[in-house]
Amino acid sequence: MPELPEVETVRRDLQAHLVGRTIESVSIGREDILRSTDCARLVAALTGHEVLSVGRLGKNLIVELSGDTVVLVNLGMTGQFFVCEACAEIDEHAHLVAELSDGMRLVFRDIRRFGHIELARAQSVGESFTLRNVGVDAMSDEFTAERLEEMLAGRSALLKNALLDQRRVAGLGNIYVCEALFRARISAVARCGELAPEEVQRLHRAIREVLRESIAAEGTTISDYVTGRGVPGSFQERLRVYGREGERCRRHGCTGTITRIVQSNRPTFHCPECQSSGGMNRGESY
Ligand SMILES: [Zn+2]
């Protein structure tokens, strides 16, 4: 599913190709993808309005329009949000299609429909369904090692689950949490309060590093994700643990094998050999 690097890549593409364009007409195929609005209200709010900016918080896109309106987009599991030529083919999974000035088209496509589109007023966007419970963005200046340490201190919850909780740090999903724990050499079964300050620093550095590298590679395409220009990302070629079950560990000098375990119904990929920090709990059940 799209995580921070994928959503940031979409944001950058839309910022480059959507801002300054006016939405000339809108068609919505399915109302069940809409939040806090209905088809008629969303069509009225979009039609004739210019796109002023495209922002992001965590895994959410914030499209600011003229007329004091903001459209919030969450890509869910399989969502795609991209600009293409107006003549490009679209299928039944394209739930919102907006025709733009200059003969381009904006498409929201989502096969599994866990994504959504919300209409909000610019002045009350923080209270919206999409954003009201979103914590500090993992690439923002506010997300410091000290902040991460505060989030984890004294808690017995599984570290991995805490990092996935969007109410605390926003933007991380299963892929980048697995990758960041590996880079920081922290046990995939560590609990929040077990990390030494030095390990929290290492984890923070690893999170920023893997997100930055993935943004530079336009994100990870495992199945459905495409950029805001409708093409796949390339970071899947550089994943070190995610999806590599049974393969040799890529850390220099480590002879371990990447292993897949299931935690809270999600797969975790890790190297049990070299990811040992933070865990007094190796061998513990989870
Ligand atoms: Zn290893």
CATH number at residue 96: 3.20.190.10
- Tell me which residue of 224, 210, 182, 162 sits closest to 4, measured CA to CA: 210
Ligand 1 centre and the CA of 76: distance in Å?
31
Which residues are 268's β-sheet partners?
Answer: 261
* Domain boundary, last residue among 77, 108, 127: 127
CB proximity list for 161: less than 8 A, separation 6 or greater: 263, 264
List, by residue number, the catalytic residues.
2-3, 59, 266
In this prediction, the residues of the chain whose per-residue pLDDT falls under 50 are: 280-286
Q: How many helices (H) and strands (E) does the chain have?
A: 6, 13
Distance in Å, CA 244 to ligand 1 centroid: 12
- 244 located within any domain: yes
Do residues 109 and 148 share a domain?
no
d(CA 133, ligand 1 centre) in Å: 36
User: Is residue 281 in a domain?
Assistant: no
What does the pLDDT read at residue 279? 54
CB-based contact 160:241 (threshold 8 Å)? no
In this prediction, residue 283 carries a pLDDT of 41
3-class state of residue 177 by DSSP? helix
Instruction: Please identify which residue in the block is written with the tokens 């550089």.
Output: 238
Report DSSP state, residue 198.
H
Asked if the structure places residue 243 within a domain, the reply is yes
Closest among 236, 177, 229 to 11, alpha carbons compared: 229
Query: What distance lies between CA 166 and its chain's CA centroid?
Result: 10
| Residue 182 placed within a domain | yes
Q: What is the pLDDT of residue 87?
A: 85
Instruction: Write out the residue range of the structural domain in which residue 103 sits.
Output: 4-127
Provide the edge-to-edge strand list for the sheet that holds 116-121: 34-35, 116-121, 69-74, 60-65, 51-57
Token code pair at residue 105: 């088209």
Q: Do residues 81 and 173 both lie within one domain?
A: no
Does the residue 55 lie in any domain?
Answer: yes
Number of structural domains, the chain? 2
The verdict on residue 279 lying in a domain is: no
What's the confidence (pLDDT) of residue 278?
77
Q: Is residue 29 exposed (0-12), middle (13-18) or buried (19+ Cβ within 10 Å)?
A: middle
Q: What is the pLDDT of residues 29-44, one digit of tens each?
A: 999 999 999 999 999 9
pLDDT score recorded for residue 4: 98
